[in-house]
Chain A
Amino acid sequence: MNSIYSYLAIPLLPLIASFCVGILGKKLSEFFASSFTILSVFGAFILSCFTLNQTLDGLVVNQAVYQWLATGRYQFEVGFLIDNLTAMMMVVVTFISLMVHIYTMGYMKGDPGYRRFFSYISLFTFSMLMLVMSNNFMQLFFGWEAVGLVSYLLIGFWYQKSTAIYANLKAFLVNRVGDFGFILGIAMILYWTGSLDYATVFKNVGIITAHTMQLFGQPVEVITVICVLLFIGAMGKSAQVPLHVWLPDSMEGPTPISALIHAATMVTAGIFMVSRMSPLFELSDTALSFVMIIGAITALFMGLLGIIQNDIKRVIAYSTLSQLGYMTVALGASAYSVAMFHLMTHAFFKALLFLGAGSVIIGMHHDQDIRNMGNLRKYMPVTWITFLIGSLALIGTPLFSGFYSKDSLIEVVKLSHITGSNFAYFSVLVGVFVTAFYSFRLYFLVFHGKEKWRLQTVAHNDDYHHGLNPKDNPHESALSITLPLTLLAIPSVVIGYISIEPILFGSFFAKSIFLNVEAHPAMEHLSHHFHQIYHGPFGMAVHSILSIPFFFATSGVALAYYCYQVNINLPKQIIKNTQTIYSILENKYGFDSFNEKFFAHGSRFLGERFWRLGDEKIIDGWFVNGTARFVGKCSEKIRIIQSGYIYHYAFAMVIGVFLFLTFFIKI
């Protein structure tokens, strides 16, 4: 495992599996297709664990695998940078991917696209690994686009569904906006530092700190522009306001990919990227403030939307948005390690929640409306317990993994002093309450209370309707589904307790993340608190019981209990009395309709104009058809010359010679 080529096996294993299954397709049995991809991802997971083990001993690899292209003074290489940050992401990605692969065997059973699905998710694993293992911006961008492509393919996996097609197109278009910023950022980096290699860029970045450039007539620091542009890329991929609109709709895809791509891994690529770019972001307080404010807005306002959703997957989707906002806030507070820590814990418990939701959906015969559920704990015990664990982790119950990451996050935002940190602190604090409320609203509605599907009057016996008949009982899902749930529940509980000390306060990220301690001392203070006041992770849990976040979380749960268990008519009354607020939330703050009216309608209008005037009249009428007519006429004319008579031909030759002679002989 010392040669760079051995690391190459990690992304290549899923790629090979993906190609085999994708190309051979129907020739393979379903069992072979799934077990082959599962084995390859398992192999990648084991190798990633080895790699993590090595990097824990202090190994850092930064090496090119091969040169792809060299033009002038620029070289484009494929290479790997492997350190603790990469290795952690690799383990998380391959582990969740493995769980999702196993889960898919049960979830997609009988689907006509079974093999295609496995091919896609393996391809995704490859792309994501290329993204995190990259040591240069070009490969980063490749991975970035590749995960976007697979995400597009998977959202529209059920391509017969028009909503799915709409959703994947939307995801693709919105991500283009982000990617446009991202590639501009990369281009600026190439322009100013002359390299795309991380190490070289970070070394040369000192040169550009002093430079300013003219932007809209104002002098702006170059580094700020670069960071903001890169972050715009992250906003697209990690669904930050206002580029978040695609993520809720992406739930049209099958549930396993909602867990893998749209909760645990791909959407966190933006967070990972900013952490990787910490040497750049540390140089610009303006960019950090921008990051923090965007994150804070996302964390709070997207959480609020989760409260009114009735689709089980959409609730979790909005929760994902809000949690991504949390991570972004941490990035803004220069607490990259905290963001990465929350990314990791969130990956486990959010994948767990999504897969649990998938299990519920199967139990309910593909009915996703939580108003038709209830008391499922009686019928689906494993799903119930694991879902409860996931929810407890999400709201930050002490000792659970989510608690350690979220509490540290809130603490570090409190200690931060950059512009916008007060607002961010307020947002994340209120966010705790909101998170607890919507999580347990979901939990109580699904697993407790009355069995509401029995109240439905219309029984549907045909294939076209989804849902459970009033007389049927839901069943616990198969082992291939419950096993990943159980395996994910374990890290959701313990991973925070185990790893908080090395990751946040030890030297785990020392070689990967650059921190300007003098300018941004929040992490230093947090570390001080942890060691001097709490004396370790257990003490942190004990202390938190008297803290504000804990109070908010418990009151959120209590309110949810009161509203959905004790006084179940209360929510309806509240909705009736707050129509304005409710309709704002219902319309998701109007982002979608604004985009639809302004961008979609506007560009269609413009496009129509260009088409009518530019295309039909000028290009088609003039250039294309006009030239074609002209050429056609010429062609007919020249044809006449070709008469078939020898003397015409000979005459043409003689004329040719004659003309050449008169042209060229100068006497």
Chain B
Amino acid sequence: MNELIQFDLSLIMPEIFVLSMAMVVLMTDLFIKPSSRWIIYSLSQLTLLGSTYLTGKDFAEETQFAFSNMFVRDGLADFLKMISYLGISLTFLYSRSYMKDRGLYRGEYFALVLFALLGMMIMISSHNMLLVYMGLELLSLCLYSITALDRDNQKATESAIKYFVLGALASGLLLYGMSMIYGATSSLDIGIISTTLFNHPTDHSILVLGLVFVLAGLAFKLGAVPFQMWVPDVYEGAPSSIAMLISSVPKLAAFAITIRLLADGLQSMIIDWKEMLLIMAVLSISIGNITAIAQKNIKRMYAYSTISHIGFILFGVMSGSLNGYASSLFYVASYMLMTLVSFAILMIMSNKNFECELIEDFKGLNKRSPWYAFLMLIVMLSMAGIPPTIGFYAKFMVLQAALEAGFVGFVIYAVMMVLVGMFYYLRIVKLMYFDEPKVKGKIEASLDVQWVLSLNALSLLIIGLVPYTFMEATTQAISLSLN
């Protein structure tokens, strides 16, 4: 018995580490002067480094369960966790000077982000609907409060309230759906649900009822149409650094629970959720791309762009094949890399007295700082899906999977929507390179941000040129976890 617990604990070492470090950060902040906040920053980065080590040390080769199958550690989980650490670490780095300028560079920010990370890690590793819900709530509560971190800012608090109320509604929907599924299968364990449904087909309409509600909750987290309304408002209202956080890493976790619940737990209901996802994907791609055109605020534009990307991710999941899941995983990871750069550039263009949030602010960037204009160019091309960037490859893989699943017409439609999307991405490029700058002056950023940001942006190009290792890693992560 004792050994068993020891084994269980050894599996959740990274989670334990992140939890204790978050506490340490919270406590340390009480005892240091505001001028030595770099300690907190370094502690947080160290946390991520340490958890990377802990996860990487015994990277899961095979699926292992802990705490009576509540917690699972497999290739998919470890892969997603590693990417999450990277994403959070980059978030800390990119937002450092932006937060300092606005007086938000405080201990609770780091602690909350680390708690949010813990929530995501739990979501990623959950093998029980209860744990899914717990992780989701931990993440969500942290995100709500982070959004309102700048509490004297009216816009930020307004968006936090919106996010909170709608999020509560979505959680309620999810919980209700879970209870329906529990009613039909009398289990919360994803593995048992899967086998029960497979062996004893039960009342179908109750299950579909549950599925719709679960899906609504998931779609809210991902930001898929028609549950996307909060996305633009929250992006616009929250400080850019927070918007960056909300738009990037939590999508990985949401993707993980989507895979766990749909592709694993409700595998035998594939015919039903396939169509639901299809509707959401098509709507997301259309509404995301078309509405983005009318935006004048770049953060809102990013928000709609996110919605369209989510549509593509759902395209891969909906194919219902290992290949499709792997493509979606590839897409969600590369989406995270892209969105981080896009927000980071927004942040380094802002300073104490100036908040860069209008599309017009990008005018003539090439004349001011050609290198950043080039990095932004890479991101825009990648988001638009132009080869040889990673974004092209991601779209290509996802659409290929959908094509194999037989959705020819919808794939053609998606490609046409990509063309529509091209417009607003390339408009940024046009503004940067062909228009005269409104403001003069070079853009300053600290040396480490410069280097890491350049590396991050160039990686979009490099992985796009040689995507095979990355693609293989995702394929392996998926095929190790689902059989």
Instruction: Mark A residues whose CB is within 8 Å of B.
Output: 627-628, 631-632, 634-636, 638-639, 642, 644, 646, 648-650, 652-653, 655-657, 660-661, 664-667
Task: Give every chain A residue within 8 A of B420 (Cβ-Cβ).
Answer: 627, 631
Residue pairs across A and B with Cβ atoms less than 8 A apart, 5 shown, are A646-B162, A657-B173, A664-B211, A664-B212, A664-B272
Near A by CB (< 8 A), chain B positions 252-280 give 272, 275-276, 279
Taking the closest CB of chain B, its distance from the CB of A227, in whole angstroms, is 38
Task: Give every chain B residue within 8 A of A655 (Cβ-Cβ).
Answer: 226
B243: CB under 8 A from chain A? no
| Chain A, Cβ-Cβ closest to B215 | A660
B393: CB under 8 A from chain A? no
Taking the closest CB of chain A, its distance from the CB of B164, in whole angstroms, is 10
Instruction: Provide the bound-state CA to CA distance between A642 and B236, in Å.
Output: 13
Task: Give every chain B residue within 8 A of A631 (Cβ-Cβ).
Answer: 290, 293, 420, 423
| Chain A, Cβ-Cβ closest to B165 | A646
* Known A634-B290, A646-B166, A664-B275; 20 more pairs at CB < 8 Å: A631-B423, A635-B292, A638-B291, A639-B291, A642-B229, A648-B229, A650-B165, A652-B226, A653-B170, A653-B173, A653-B216, A653-B229, A656-B216, A657-B173, A660-B276, A661-B209, A664-B208, A664-B211, A664-B212, A664-B272
B483: CB under 8 A from chain A? no
B227: CB under 8 A from chain A? yes
Taking the closest CB of chain A, its distance from the CB of B313, in whole angstroms, is 18
Contact A656 B205 (CB under 8 A): no
Taking the closest CB of chain A, its distance from the CB of B251, in whole angstroms, is 19
Known: A638-B291, A660-B216. A653 touches B208 (CB 8 A): no
Instruction: Provide the bound-state CA to CA distance between A667 and B203, in Å.
Output: 11
Task: Give every chain B residue within 8 A of A661 (Cβ-Cβ).
Answer: 208-209, 212
Contact A649 B294 (CB under 8 A): no
Instruction: Provide the bound-state CA to CA distance between A665 and B290, in Å.
Output: 31
Task: Give every chain A residue within 8 A of B208 (Cβ-Cβ).
Answer: 661, 664-665
10 closest A-B pairs by beta carbon, nearest first, are: A656-B226, A649-B229, A635-B294, A660-B212, A635-B293, A638-B291, A657-B216, A635-B290, A634-B290, A665-B205
Taking the closest CB of chain A, its distance from the CB of B311, in whole angstroms, is 14
Task: Give every chain A residue within 8 A of B293 (Cβ-Cβ).
Answer: 631-632, 635
Contact A649 B162 (CB under 8 A): yes
| Chain B, Cβ-Cβ closest to A627 | B420
Task: Give every chain B residue within 8 A of A634 (Cβ-Cβ).
Answer: 290
Task: Give every chain A residue within 8 A of B233 (Cβ-Cβ).
Answer: 642, 644
| Chain A, Cβ-Cβ closest to B417 | A631
CB 8 Å contact bits of B171-193 with A (1 = contact, 0 = none): 00100000000000000000000
Chain B residues bordering chain A, tally (CB within 8 A): 34
Known: A632-B294, A664-B272, A664-B275. A642 touches B232 (CB 8 A): yes
CB 8 Å contact bits of B188-229 with A (1 = contact, 0 = none): 000000000000000001001101110110001000001101
Taking the closest CB of chain B, its distance from the CB of A643, in whole angstroms, is 9
| Chain B, Cβ-Cβ closest to A656 | B226
Contact A649 B209 (CB under 8 A): no
Instruction: Mark B residues whose CB is within 8 Å of A.
Output: 161-162, 165-166, 169-170, 173, 205, 208-209, 211-213, 215-216, 220, 226-227, 229-230, 232-233, 272, 275-276, 279, 287, 290-294, 420, 423
Partner of A653, one of B211, B226, B294: B226
Residue among A655, A657, A661 with the highest chain B CB neighbour number at 10 A: A657
Instruction: Provide the bound-state CA to CA distance between A666 and B275, in Å.
Output: 14
| Chain A, Cβ-Cβ closest to B213 | A657
Task: Give every chain B residue within 8 A of A639 (Cβ-Cβ).
Answer: 291, 294
Task: Give every chain B residue within 8 A of A649 (Cβ-Cβ).
Answer: 162, 166, 229-230
| Chain A, Cβ-Cβ closest to B275 | A664
- How would you classify the secondary structure of chain A's contact residues: helix, strand, loop or mixed? helix
Taking the closest CB of chain B, its distance from the CB of A632, in whole angstroms, is 7
Contact B209 A665 (CB under 8 A): yes
Contact B229 A657 (CB under 8 A): no
Task: Give every chain B residue within 8 A of A627 (Cβ-Cβ).
Answer: 420
Taking the closest CB of chain B, its distance from the CB of A496, in whole angstroms, is 52
Contact B216 A664 (CB under 8 A): no
Instruction: Provide the bound-state CA to CA distance between A562 and B294, in Å.
Output: 83
Contact B290 A653 (CB under 8 A): no
Instruction: Provide the bound-state CA to CA distance between A661 and B169, in Å.
Output: 17
Instruction: Provide the bound-state CA to CA distance between A204 and B165, in Å.
Output: 75
Instruction: Provide the bound-state CA to CA distance between A653 and B293, in Å.
Output: 23
Task: Give every chain A residue within 8 A of B272 (Cβ-Cβ).
Answer: 664
Task: Give every chain A residue within 8 A of B166 (Cβ-Cβ).
Answer: 646, 649-650, 653
Task: Give every chain B residue within 8 A of A664 (Cβ-Cβ).
Answer: 208, 211-212, 272, 275-276
Taking the closest CB of chain A, its distance from the CB of B3, in whole angstroms, is 46
Known: A631-B420, A642-B229, A661-B212. A653 touches B276 (CB 8 A): no
Contact A650 B169 (CB under 8 A): yes
Contact B229 A652 (CB under 8 A): yes
| Chain B, Cβ-Cβ closest to A638 | B291
Contact A653 B169 (CB under 8 A): yes
Taking the closest CB of chain A, its distance from the CB of B169, in whole angstroms, is 6
Task: Give every chain B residue within 8 A of A632 (Cβ-Cβ).
Answer: 293-294
Task: Give every chain A residue within 8 A of B215 (Cβ-Cβ).
Answer: 660
Taking the closest CB of chain B, its distance from the CB of A412, in whole angstroms, is 53
Contact B212 A635 (CB under 8 A): no
Task: Give every chain B residue within 8 A of A636 (Cβ-Cβ).
Answer: 294
Instruction: Provide the bound-state CA to CA distance between A418 and B165, in Å.
Output: 93
Instruction: Provide the bound-state CA to CA distance between A309 and B387, in Å.
Output: 51
Taking the closest CB of chain A, its distance from the CB of B181, in whole angstroms, is 14
Task: Give every chain A residue within 8 A of B213 (Cβ-Cβ).
Answer: 657
Instruction: Provide the bound-state CA to CA distance between A115 and B326, in Å.
Output: 50
Instruction: Provide the bound-state CA to CA distance between A650 and B233, in Å.
Output: 14
Contact B294 A657 (CB under 8 A): no
| Chain A, Cβ-Cβ closest to B164 | A646
Taking the closest CB of chain A, its distance from the CB of B314, in whole angstroms, is 14
Taking the closest CB of chain A, its distance from the CB of B426, in whole angstroms, is 13
Instruction: Provide the bound-state CA to CA distance between A475 and B165, in Å.
Output: 93
Instruction: Provide the bound-state CA to CA distance between A120 and B291, in Å.
Output: 50
| Chain A, Cβ-Cβ closest to B232 | A642
Taking the closest CB of chain B, its distance from the CB of A468, in whole angstroms, is 49
Instruction: Provide the bound-state CA to CA distance between A660 and B214, in Å.
Output: 12
Instruction: Provide the bound-state CA to CA distance between A634 and B215, in Å.
Output: 27
Taking the closest CB of chain A, its distance from the CB of B437, in whole angstroms, is 27
Instruction: Provide the bound-state CA to CA distance between A664 and B277, in Å.
Output: 12
Task: Give every chain B residue within 8 A of A652 (Cβ-Cβ).
Answer: 226-227, 229
Instruction: Provide the bound-state CA to CA distance between A475 and B272, in Å.
Output: 91
Contact A638 B290 (CB under 8 A): yes
| Chain A, Cβ-Cβ closest to B169 | A650
Instruction: Provide the bound-state CA to CA distance between A639 and B290, in Å.
Output: 10
Known: A638-B287, A646-B165. A666 touches B205 (CB 8 A): yes
Instruction: Provide the bound-state CA to CA distance between A634 and B272, in Å.
Output: 30
Taking the closest CB of chain A, its distance from the CB of B359, in whole angstroms, is 14
| Chain A, Cβ-Cβ closest to B416 | A627
